[in-house]
Amino acid sequence: MSKTLSMLFMHRLAPASLADPTTNLAADRRLAERIAGGDEAAFDELVERHFARVAGIAGRFFRQPDAAEEIHQEVFLKAFISIGSYRGEVPLEHWLSRIAVNACYDALRRSRRRPETPIESVADPAADSPGPDAEAGDGASFWRQEQARIAADEMLAMLQPAERLVLTLMVLEDRSAADVADLTGWSVVNVKVRAFRARRKLKAMLAPAEKRVGRKRS
């Protein structure tokens, strides 16, 4: 990944590993059995225990509160309906993460549209930077981070849903190709190919900005 591309995404990188394999699977199975038996308190416990993980995944793809909330509701509704299929072979957190990732992917496919922002503008997060008077104090750092976040979101929105899903999980959540394959049900090779294509497209989007920076330094 190029230096400029790394800069755009670094501020959002927050490693999140899969659930600890030492998690008490027996306790997870008992909780799932209680939910399947109609225990509402058990379902409330499931939501309370794993809401942060589901919200974290949804937040990687949807920054609008309403959109993220729809994902939260969809994930836990699907979990409630399909809890009988949980076999306790993996922690409930990982089982819910699979549901969340696939719910996000489905939502991306439903809502995908090409951003109206021109590629040239997206590729240069400094294009709309404030004047010299604003480049002072704590506000300058916040502005640069906000501009980088907006640029990153706009570039990700220009990718195919599968490419965006893979790159978000691998770069922003620091997951391996094997982890992503496990969460999506795709092969490791498929995941790596989609990640490669996504990075190549992002580099192409950033090329004009990198050339401008090179000319300014020369």
Residues 138 and 136: their CA atoms lie apart, in Å, by: 7
Q: Is residue 87 part of a domain?
A: yes
SS3 140: helix
Q: Is residue 123 part of a domain?
A: no
Model pLDDT, residue 21: 47
CATH number assigned to the domain comprising residue 149: 1.10.1740.10
Model pLDDT, residue 167: 92
Q: Is residue 44 part of a domain?
A: yes
Model pLDDT, residue 150: 73
Structural domains counted in the chain: 1
**pTM greater than 0.75:** no
Amino acid letter, 211: K
Model pLDDT, residue 63: 85
Model pLDDT, residue 10: 46
Model pLDDT, residue 9: 52
Residue reference for tokens 């549901």: 99
Question: What range does the domain containing 153 cover?
Answer: 3-115+140-217
CA geometry: angle 191, 174, 73, nearest 5 deg: 80
Q: Is residue 127 part of a domain?
A: no
Q: Is residue 133 part of a domain?
A: no
Q: Is residue 132 part of a domain?
A: no
Residues 143 and 27: their CA atoms lie apart, in Å, by: 46
Q: Is residue 81 part of a domain?
A: yes
Q: Is residue 164 part of a domain?
A: yes
Report mean pLDDT in 10-residue bins for the chain, 218 residues. Answer: 49 44 79 96 97 94 92 97 94 96 94 50 47 54 68 83 94 92 96 95 79 58
CB 93 within 8 A of CB 56: no
